[in-house]
Structure 1
Amino acid sequence: MAWESSGGWQSGQAGAVDDVLVQESQRAFMSRVHGWMFAGLALTGVMAMVTLANEALLRVAVQNRMALFLVQLGVVFGLSFLAPRLSGPVAAVMFAGYAALTGVTLSVIFLIYTASSIGQVFFITAATYGAMAVYGTVTKKDLSSWGTFLFMGLIGILIAGVVNIFIKSSAVSFVMACAGVLVFAGLTAYDVQKLRQFHAGTGFKSTTSVAIVGALTLYLDFINLFLSLLRLLGNRRD
């Protein structure tokens, strides 16, 4: 009995050690993911300021928004589908290029909204993102059931956005912004949990390119949450 008790204690201790190692590995991976994400956001901000200060570059951003959007879309798909085959440096260059292009395209918001309201909305976005990321990290609830609902919401927003290009309805824009806040806040928690689970599924051997793709996912959640909140709370220039 003593031996059995000792063996059970040792097994329980080993299990506790394994749990600690798992948590440490997930924490290190998510730190890398968020490190890349924050670096991307910083590069986006710098490029937005550079574009705003350069009249020629700003004119390019205004006149070629659709072309720049298509290039960004190509980079997103390239990173997402080719990640397993990409080296870390190549993935990093693609992510940096995407973040820089996003900064160029986002520079035009300073022509529409006041700088003070953009700053306020950015901090609101950061707080909202942080709260949802923490929820996705600490919750014991499986958020996989959110996936279908959030994906349907995202498709609905995209369809409404295309329709609104032609009808130009302020009511539709308002509903899209409200839906966007809910969808991208939910996606933040969902994606954080999914990335942690994915890392565990790889045997805790996720590569740099995988971390960068994770950073891109959360970066997109942040940017789209920011734009949705800006449409709701931003003060437009006269």
Structure 2
Amino acid sequence: MAFLLRRPFAITATLRQASSEAPAAVRSFHSSPLKQYQRTFKSQFTSSRPLAQQSRNVFRATFRRGYMQEAQPARPDAGELRQKLIYGAGIFGGTVVAINLMFNRETRDDGGMPPFERSYLNDTFMHTGLGLGMIGVAARALHTSGWSIRLMTASPWLVIGVGLAGSIGTMMATRAISPENYIPKYAMWTAFNMTQAALLSPMMFLHPALLARAGLYTLGVMGSISFVGATAKQDKYLYLGGPLLAGLSVVFLSGLAPLVVPATAARTLMWSERIWLYGGLAVFGGITLWDVQKILQHARLAERGLIKRDAVNECISLELDFINIFIRMVQILGMQQNRRR
């Protein structure tokens, strides 16, 4: 029964093979002269046994082909995996040291990070990790339910319009709700994460190893930049808000270029893709640095009683930074993998 489920057309193929031989016997029987009737009948009768044997062989070969399993790909060696982890840790540590030496020559002069700033920053990072975990799990569930295929076959303008409306609407609603209203606040924050998961679910078509590498690299980049922003001098990088907003506008417009620029303008599309990829990495890296210092500034204002302590609003910015850097990391790694082939 298992063979029939694997090869449901095996029986029809066998009957087709047998039927291709049977008409030849019938035609030879009718075309033979009357004097040779007995000899032809004997020859056809004796040849029926090889015909049945041939059909049985075809039937067995068909099932044998269906039973053969595909060769499993070789699993990576433990030494190779350990080497990759060592390389990743080395890259992460080197990135932290290099960025710290380059951008953090002037450290804090107030004796280090106060406890209330550290508590507020840790609370924000905890909510950021929880939100990214919700996005990953929801994106996987939507992908297995078939949502990714429906999203990819929809109109690009419709996806962009509905996606922007859902993301911006749920984000503004989350920020507008007071942190004292826990249930509406976390409900809208969950809705925001679900909209991000719905838009990111088609990425689940890619290889899990590629997504894991991109996530590791994104974590390293954001971790090193966050370390620089947390240990730098107070309000040192808050002046970057205006230039980063201008750069973000350029990156956003370059991402929309494939929708409005014709396919014949290959050079324009190539430069717009580079601006979207590498310019986006630089812009969102700077935005991460600016967000971390803004979180510390809000912690000082909350300590003075000027604003309310709200880690959910702070984590939304870091989630968007992570998502945008992660998407570009996935595309860059995918391009490198295609070049190797």
Is this a same-fold pair by TM over 0.5?
yes
2:149, 2:202 within 8 Å by CA — same for their partners in 1? no
Match of 1:72 among 143, 158, 167: 167
Looking at structure 2, the residues matched to 227 and 90 of structure 1 have their Cα atoms a distance apart, in angstroms, of 30
Q: CA deviation at 1:227?
A: 1.2
How big is each residue's C-alpha offset from its partner over 1:80-103, in whole Å with a ceiling of 9 and x where there is no partner? 3x1448723322111111112211
Q: What does residue 32 of structure 1 align with? A: 123
**Is 1:138 the counterpart of 2:231 in the alignment?**
yes
Question: Which amino acid is 1:181 matched to?
Answer: L
1:88, 1:207 within 8 Å by CA — same for their partners in 2? no
- Partner SS, residue 146 of structure 1: helix
Q: What does residue 91 of structure 1 align with? A: 185
Question: Which amino acid is 2:298 matched to?
Answer: F
After superposition, the Cα gap between the structure-2 partners of 1:60 and 1:68, relative to the gap in structure 1 and judged at 3 Å, is farther
TM-score (norm 2): 0.58
Q: Within 5 Å, which residues of 2 pair with 1:100-115?
A: 100-111=194-205, 113-115=206-208
Question: Which amino acid is 1:199 matched to?
Answer: A
Looking at structure 2, the residues matched to 60 and 88 of structure 1 have their Cα atoms a distance apart, in angstroms, of 34
Question: Which amino acid is 2:230 matched to?
Answer: T
Q: What does residue 192 of structure 1 align with? A: 292
Q: What does residue 152 of structure 1 align with? A: 246
- Structure 2 residue runs of 5 or longer lacking an equivalent are 1-109, 264-268
2:281, 2:325 within 8 Å by CA — same for their partners in 1? yes
- Partner SS, residue 116 of structure 2: helix
- Partner SS, residue 234 of structure 1: helix
Q: What does residue 182 of structure 1 align with? A: 282
Q: What does residue 45 of structure 1 align with? A: 136
Deviating 4+ runs (over 6 angstroms): 19-22
Match of 1:211 among 311, 317, 325: 311
Q: CA deviation at 1:33?
A: 0.8
2:179, 2:185 within 8 Å by CA — same for their partners in 1? no
Q: Flag the structure with more relative contact order, 1 or 2, with Cα contacts below 8 A and sequence separation at least 6.
A: 1
- Structure 1 residue runs of 5 or longer lacking an equivalent are 1-18
Match of 1:127 among 220, 223, 241: 220
After superposition, the Cα gap between the structure-2 partners of 1:54 and 1:146, relative to the gap in structure 1 and judged at 3 Å, is same
Looking at structure 1, the residues matched to 121 and 311 of structure 2 have their Cα atoms a distance apart, in angstroms, of 8
Identical amino acids, percent of aligned pairs = 19
Question: Which amino acid is 1:147 matched to?
Answer: G
Q: CA deviation at 1:77?
A: 2.3
Q: CA deviation at 1:52?
A: 1.6
Q: CA deviation at 1:231?
A: 2.2
Looking at structure 1, the residues matched to 165 and 256 of structure 2 have their Cα atoms a distance apart, in angstroms, of 15
Looking at structure 2, the residues matched to 58 and 234 of structure 1 have their Cα atoms a distance apart, in angstroms, of 19
Q: What does residue 67 of structure 2 align with? A: none
Question: Who wins on radius of gyration, i.e. which is larger?
Answer: 2
Q: CA deviation at 1:20?
A: 7.7
Looking at structure 2, the residues matched to 204 and 117 of structure 1 have their Cα atoms a distance apart, in angstroms, of 45
Looking at structure 1, the residues matched to 331 and 125 of structure 2 have their Cα atoms a distance apart, in angstroms, of 25
Higher helix proportion: 1
How big is each residue's C-alpha offset from its partner over 1:31-51, in whole Å with a ceiling of 9 and x where there is no partner? 111111110000011011111
